[in-house]
Chains A and B, each alone.
Chain A
């Protein structure tokens, strides 16, 4: 019943102390935001698209997070849904017919709308952080090694905010019920386009796209060296610039507020666009270094320092020392290297120790980085992180059986031992490598397949020619002692490229 009488001044039980108006607006909007309704759907997609594909990867952070962070799938999973829901919220006054009601209030509409956006975005960001947090907790439970890519999490957070802002602004500017699916589809299209460009264009402006993993998400990032923050910072600047610009756009219509406020919105939009443009400009100055993308204007030399670690070692014939992040590979790697080192023991340049070295990135991925042998006594440098054939989370299950791992290690070892470097090597080097592989139990008939499977370099994957195998068969046919003796006397000449195929016995 409507009652008359003087307005009561008492507050009922349960009222909280007065908070600043804008915080109260945010709180009301936060409590009644429709964003949580869409989160279960995002969670399901996140599980299947971001988490599941990482489950079969080797337990190293740069590997398990390459797809979901490096290629931005966590953002892709969120973008269409949060953009659509934010657009739905932004279009609320148009859909609900509250335009006149809110227009007759004193607080500038733009300011109130920013509170609404902030509440909507809080849900989206909280969900993103929770989902990623749970995923990282699952990784930690699995024993995934290395440092999580926190910079990319920050990029993801910014990206989610960008999509909520873009959706919300669209809803404000086109306040009808169709704007939500339109915003969702536009976000999906933007991410699909970003992914396509990210796969095909690994330099220049395209690096600014959060789905472009080229050169900035590497095998040994967070293990031997830090994730370089240069590109993430530029990307956050890019995304934050878009966020600010589109929120500024929402303040431009006459209904948003007074002239002064709308002028401020113009300034905000311009500042956002300037930040976006500057970020794109920074991306075009990016250069690929062995440890990631370096943007000179943003680069901090401290980021280049290697992460200190105490290696874990095993083996007696050849002492094998690995980064503790690779501890799970120590036994298998030691076994593989011990077998092949035993076969060449006593020969010139035969390593007595193997030390893991950081993988270095180059255009085209991690391939192309060989083992090297140097020093006296000779030490084998093993860039284990550069090899794609590491066993997965559950060990040597298909598609990486232990035999394949051993043979791949032998091949790369022997490539270094004969001095072939990163190329295919000379025909005599190929022949000696093939003969030694055969003596390790890899039949000639299987070697071309192994070369192709290993594809450390394009050159290495090229199958050896028939004359090479003819020479290799001659060498392999020799008794072990005779082959050993020939190698002892000819290895130096072989590595120097002074032998011909005809000189192979």
Chain B
């Protein structure tokens, strides 16, 4: 298993953002759904080794992120796209991606090829020399994805990756997720249920810091059948039905 979480908790003052999450994940694409404030971003930040858990046990890529040497090794093999992508406006696309390739301790000889590949896979080859300040929001999001995949990660954590992408880009992105998910663990936090349906092999639904559903997209769809829950699509109705149950 690339991800093993046991009773993971994270508290911010009196608020428990993540309230005892246990999860296991191997290769594949995992969708993380939930309303605002459900704890998805906090969970992803902990899995990205950015945020230390308040309690519980976490093992990533077979290593303990609490140990410095292990954490460094995890980070070498990790790709992470935060919800809010900060960037250096004076850098070009290639420089930004290369910068993160270097920060991820990639062997210098492999960096140029990896950067070119990541930029190309995100459809940014023609803008590789453009300054980030000149890019649109959707393009910036793709730059964020490019830096996340530049090291060919075994664990890829994407927080709202499709925000700002046009429908065509979103479809291509889903294909990319499926392709990466064939060999790595991809965790995608999103509000867009159709992304989960199209790209994810498993889906986890969080509410108030807890996992209230874990299964396949088909199982989630089934939960909505005949429930009378709100939603334009079957998966959305499943999502609404699970949430309604959890809140009840």
The chain A residues found within 8 Å of chain B, CB to CB, are: 1-5, 7-12, 15-16, 18-21, 24-25, 28, 31-32, 34, 92-93, 96-107, 112, 258-260
Which of B169-177, B219-227, B235-243 lines the interface with chain A?
B169-177
Interface membership of B147, Cβ < 8 A: yes
Interface membership of B63, Cβ < 8 A: no
Q: Are A112 and B152 in contact (CB under 8 A)?
A: no
Q: Are B87 and A98 in contact (CB under 8 A)?
A: yes
Minimum C-beta distance from B185 to chain A (A): 15
Q: Are A18 and B123 in contact (CB under 8 A)?
A: no
Interface membership of B117, Cβ < 8 A: yes
Minimum C-beta distance from B235 to chain A (A): 22
Chain B residues, CB < 8 A from A112: 103
Q: Are B100 and A24 in contact (CB under 8 A)?
A: no
Chain A residues, CB < 8 A from B78: 104
Given the contacts A7-B117, A15-B116, A25 and B82 also touching, CB distance less than 8 Å? no
The chain B residues found within 8 Å of chain A, CB to CB, are: 45, 48-50, 68-69, 71-73, 75-76, 78, 80, 82, 84-91, 95, 98-100, 102-114, 116-118, 120-123, 125, 128, 142, 145, 147, 152, 168-169, 172-173, 175-176, 178-179
Minimum C-beta distance from A38 to chain B (A): 14
For A25, give the chain B residue with the smallest CB separation.
Answer: B102
Q: Are A7 and B152 in contact (CB under 8 A)?
A: yes
Given the contacts A2-B169, A32-B88, A105-B75, A19 and B48 also touching, CB distance less than 8 Å? no
Q: Are B169 and A32 in contact (CB under 8 A)?
A: no
Q: Are A24 and B80 in contact (CB under 8 A)?
A: no
Q: How far is it, in angstroms, between the C-alpha of A93 and the C-alpha of B125 when the chains are bound?
A: 26
Q: How far is it, in angstroms, between the C-alpha of A11 and the C-alpha of B111 when the chains are bound?
A: 9
Q: Are B145 and A19 in contact (CB under 8 A)?
A: no
Q: How far is it, in angstroms, between the C-alpha of A196 and the C-alpha of B238 when the chains are bound?
A: 75
Q: How far is it, in angstroms, between the C-alpha of A25 and the C-alpha of B101 when the chains are bound?
A: 10
Q: Are B104 and A259 in contact (CB under 8 A)?
A: no
Q: Are B50 and A104 in contact (CB under 8 A)?
A: yes
Name 4 extra pairs, CB < 8 A, besides A3-B122, A99-B86, A102-B103.
A11-B112, A97-B85, A104-B75, A105-B103
For A9, give the chain B residue with the smallest CB separation.
Answer: B113
Q: Are A9 and B117 in contact (CB under 8 A)?
A: yes
Q: How far is it, in angstroms, between the C-alpha of A19 and the C-alpha of B111 when the chains are bound?
A: 10
Q: Are B87 and A96 in contact (CB under 8 A)?
A: yes
Q: Are A259 and B68 in contact (CB under 8 A)?
A: yes
Minimum C-beta distance from B238 to chain A (A): 27
Sorted nearest first, the 7 A-B pairs with minimum C-beta distance are A97-B86, A98-B86, A258-B68, A105-B103, A2-B172, A1-B123, A18-B108
Minimum C-beta distance from B200 to chain A (A): 16
For B77, give the chain A residue with the smallest CB separation.
Answer: A106
Q: Are A1 and B103 in contact (CB under 8 A)?
A: no
Given the contacts A8-B113, A104-B78, A20 and B108 also touching, CB distance less than 8 Å? yes
| A/B interface sample: 23 pairs, CB < 8 A | A1-B123, A1-B168, A1-B172, A2-B122, A2-B142, A2-B169, A3-B176, A4-B175, A4-B176, A5-B121, A7-B114, A11-B113, A18-B109, A18-B111, A18-B112, A21-B111, A31-B95, A97-B85, A97-B86, A101-B100, A104-B80, A106-B76, A107-B105
Minimum C-beta distance from B107 to chain A (A): 8
Partner of B95, one of A1, A32, A97, A102: A32
Partner of A107, one of B104, B109, B111, B116: B104
For A261, give the chain B residue with the smallest CB separation.
Answer: B68
Chain A residues, CB < 8 A from B168: 1
Q: How far is it, in angstroms, between the C-alpha of A381 and the C-alpha of B147 when the chains are bound?
A: 75
For A98, give the chain B residue with the smallest CB separation.
Answer: B86
Q: Are B99 and A98 in contact (CB under 8 A)?
A: no
Residue of A2, A11, A96, A259 with most chain B CB atoms under a 10 A cut-off: A2
Q: Are B75 and A106 in contact (CB under 8 A)?
A: yes
Chain B residues, CB < 8 A from A93: 86
For A23, give the chain B residue with the smallest CB separation.
Answer: B108
Q: Are A11 and B72 in contact (CB under 8 A)?
A: no
For B103, give the chain A residue with the smallest CB separation.
Answer: A105
Q: Are B84 and A10 in contact (CB under 8 A)?
A: no
Partner of B72, one of A25, A97, A103, A106: A106
Partner of B116, one of A11, A16, A96, A104: A11
Chain A residues, CB < 8 A from B48: 100, 103-104
Q: How far is it, in angstroms, between the C-alpha of A16 and the C-alpha of B94 when the chains are bound?
A: 13
Q: How far is it, in angstroms, between the C-alpha of A465 and the C-alpha of B75 when the chains are bound?
A: 88
Q: How far is it, in angstroms, between the C-alpha of A8 and the C-alpha of B82 when the chains are bound?
A: 25
Chain A residues, CB < 8 A from B128: 12
Residue of A7, A28, A102 with most chain B CB atoms under a 10 A cut-off: A7
Chain A residues, CB < 8 A from B75: 104-106
Chain A residues, CB < 8 A from B172: 1-4
Chain B residues, CB < 8 A from A2: 121-123, 142, 145, 169, 172-173, 175-176
Partner of A105, one of B45, B104, B121: B104
Q: How far is it, in angstroms, between the C-alpha of A28 and the C-alpha of B109 when the chains are bound?
A: 16
Q: How far is it, in angstroms, between the C-alpha of A107 and the C-alpha of B78 when the chains are bound?
A: 12
Chain B residues, CB < 8 A from A11: 112-113, 116
Q: How far is it, in angstroms, between the C-alpha of A188 and the C-alpha of B173 when the chains are bound?
A: 51
Given the contacts A24-B98, A100-B80, A32 and B91 also touching, CB distance less than 8 Å? yes
Q: How far is it, in angstroms, between the C-alpha of A7 and the C-alpha of B102 when the chains are bound?
A: 18
Chain B residues, CB < 8 A from A98: 86-88
Chain B residues, CB < 8 A from A105: 75, 100, 103-105
Minimum C-beta distance from A343 to chain B (A): 73
Q: Are A34 and B86 in contact (CB under 8 A)?
A: no
For B174, give the chain A residue with the smallest CB separation.
Answer: A2
Minimum C-beta distance from B183 to chain A (A): 10
Given the contacts A9-B117, A97-B86, A106-B103, A4 and B179 also touching, CB distance less than 8 Å? yes
Chain A residues, CB < 8 A from B142: 2
Q: How far is it, in angstroms, between the C-alpha of A425 and the C-alpha of B49 when the chains are bound?
A: 84
Q: How far is it, in angstroms, between the C-alpha of A103 and the C-alpha of B47 when the chains are bound?
A: 12
